[in-house]
Amino acid sequence: MSAEGTAVIELRSLTKRYGRSVGVDGLDLDIGAGEVFGLLGPNGAGKTTTLRCLVGLLKPSAGAVRILGLDPVADHRRVSPSIGYLPGELRLYPELTGRQTLDLLANLQGAPAPRQAELCTRLGLSRADLDKTVGAYSRGMKQKLGLVQALQHRPALTVLDEPTEGLDPLVQEVFFELLAEETAAGRTVLLSSHVLPEVQRACGRVAIIRGGRLVAVQSVAALRRARARRIRLVLADGPGARPLGAAERWSPRWDGSRVELLVPPDDVVAAVRELLAALPVDDLTVEEAGLDEAFLDLYRTGEEPPAGPGSGVGPEVRS
Ligand SMILES: Nc1ncnc2c1ncn2[C@@H]1O[C@H](COP(=O)(O)OP(=O)(O)OP(=O)(O)O)[C@@H](O)[C@H]1O
């Protein structure tokens, strides 16, 4: 939950079965006002199922979903104006124009669309584009239209399934600006994505699901802080791997006269000291290792069958 303690999304033991197959299994999660929250997981993990339950398109088999304290299925009419949803596979009526589509969807949302024109301009949908039928749209144009309809009524919660699919890099930049504005205004965004750099950039917290179960909830800032440092050395006396004594614990990788080690942040000073004592060093650099590796570790966390839905990494893991 946010610092203010406002739960915009509450999932309690959310379970959705499709006949015998399980979509999601006992998910517990709280997401607060002003969060951009990322839902990650491998193919078939249950991300889309979770999102569809959140927006009231699927009825849970067991457990509960609350959006702003309301049940998105039973209280659909009341909660609908507060939700924006971009599905992963956007199906639009090909014979309607872009503008007609946006107006139709605003009607279904049950809310006026004060941001429609602004969002079209910022995402690069011109008047001429909006007068064309959607059947004549490119994939990226359809995705832009999908984003406009998801945000046009300024919903308290926007749920986005793979939002940057098909968007060119310039439009992606606009998308990130829009997300930052949502957070600044205290609105909440939940997005699912396979694009790790996008999640790193946009999200404050992430949840990893696998096999329908929550395996980890982690803040991106904590991942960043915990990320390893890469120490690179060039030897002054030419090529040749050699034993590094205590520094062997960081598994040095040799390449001619270069050696590289991945070291936890708290060990950097000790490692540099030991390396300088052990080797004739011509050059030394220390840099942060990529966040991707930390994310991939989170993915791997779920590879072993968890003891329970909450077993996994770090103090923020939920059960
Ligand atoms: N309509 C359906 N009927 C039967 N099983 C389904 C249905 N929809 C999803 N499932 C199953 O539920 C599980 C979760 O699927 P879901 O689409 O939620 O995963 P996902 O994480 O969104 O995957 P991806 O990253 O591939 O889009 C999968 O095993 C899938 O086969």
The interface predicted TM-score (ipTM) is 0.98
**Residue 192, pLDDT above cutoff 90:** yes
pLDDT at 312 over 50: no
Are 154 and 285 in the same domain? Answer: no
284 found inside a domain: yes
Residue 161 CA, closest ligand 1 atom number: 22
Using the predicted structure, report yes or no on whether residue 3 has a pLDDT greater than 60.
no
Q: Whose CA is nearest to atom 17 of ligand 1?
A: 48
Q: Examine the domain organization and report whether 85 and 132 are in the same domain.
A: yes
Considering the domain architecture, whether residues 63 and 204 belong to the same structural domain is answered as yes
Q: How does DSSP assign 56-115, residue by residue?
A: TSS--SEEEEEETTB-TTTTHHHHGGGEEEE-SS----TTSBHHHHHHHHHHHHTS--TT
pLDDT value at 190 more than 90: yes
**How far is the centre of ligand 1, averaged over its atoms, from the C-alpha of 223 (Å)?**
28
Atom 1 of ligand 1, nearest CA residue:
18
Point out the ligand 1 atom lying closest to the alpha carbon of residue 212. Answer: 14
* Residue 132 exposed, middle or buried by CB count within 10 Å (0-12, 13-18, 19+): middle
Task: Name the residue with the closest Cα to ligand 1, atom 5.
Answer: 18
Same structural domain for residues 202 and 246?
Answer: no
- pLDDT band at residue 194, thresholds of 50, 70 and 90? confident
pLDDT value of residue 6: 60
9: CA distance to ligand 1 center in Å? Answer: 21
Reported confidence tier of residue 317, pLDDT bands at 50, 70, 90: very low
In the numeric block, the tokens 């749209």 are attached to: 137
Closest atom of ligand 1 to CA, residue 46? 18
Q: Are residues 35 and 81 in the same domain?
A: yes
Residue at 118 is within a domain: yes
Same domain, 94 and 195: yes
pTM to 2 decimal places: 0.81
Write down the pLDDT at residue 303: 57
Q: What is the pLDDT of residues 121-166, one digit of tens each?
A: 999 999 999 999 999 999 999 999 999 999 999 999 999 999 999 9
Say whether both 128 and 270 belong to one domain. no
Q: Across all residues in the chain, what is the average pLDDT?
A: 88
Q: How far is the CA of 163 from the centre of ligand 1 (A)?
A: 18
Shared domain check, 179 and 49: yes
- 289-311 confidence digits (pLDDT tens): 777 777 777 777 655 443 333 33
Q: Which domain, by its residues, includes 99?
A: 7-220+295-301
Report the CATH number at residue 241: 3.30.70
One domain, residues 198 and 281: no
Q: Any idea what the CATH number is for the domain that residue 181 is in?
A: 3.40.50.300
117 with 252, same domain: the answer is no
In a domain, 318, yes or no: no
Contact between residue 244 and residue 214 where contact means Cβ atoms under 8 Å apart: no
Residues 182 and 243 in one domain: no
Q: State whether the Cα torsion 197-124-111-187 is positive or negative.
A: positive
CA-closest residue to ligand 1 atom 16: 46
Task: Say how many Å lie between the CA of residue 66 and the centre of ligand 1.
Answer: 22
Measured from the CB, is residue 162 less than 6 Å from ligand 1? no
Report pLDDT for 316.
34
DSSP 303: T
Whether residue 159 has its Cβ less than 6 Å from ligand 1: no
The response to whether residue 193 sits with its C-beta less than 6 Å from ligand 1 reads no
Q: How confident is the model at residue 240 (pLDDT cuts 50, 70, 90)?
A: confident
First to last CA, the chain: 15
Which tens digit of pLDDT belongs to each residue from 23-75?
999 999 999 999 999 999 888 999 999 999 999 999 999 999 999 999 999 99
Mean pLDDT for 189-195 is 92
Residue 224 alpha carbon to ligand 1 centre in Å: 30
Asked if residue 316 belongs to a domain, the reply is no
Question: Does residue 265 share a domain with residue 158?
Answer: no
Residue 317 domain-assigned (yes or no)? no
Query: Is the pLDDT assigned to residue 1 strictly greater than 60?
Result: no
What is the C-alpha R_g of the chain? 24
Cβ 35 vs Cβ 188: under 8 Å? yes
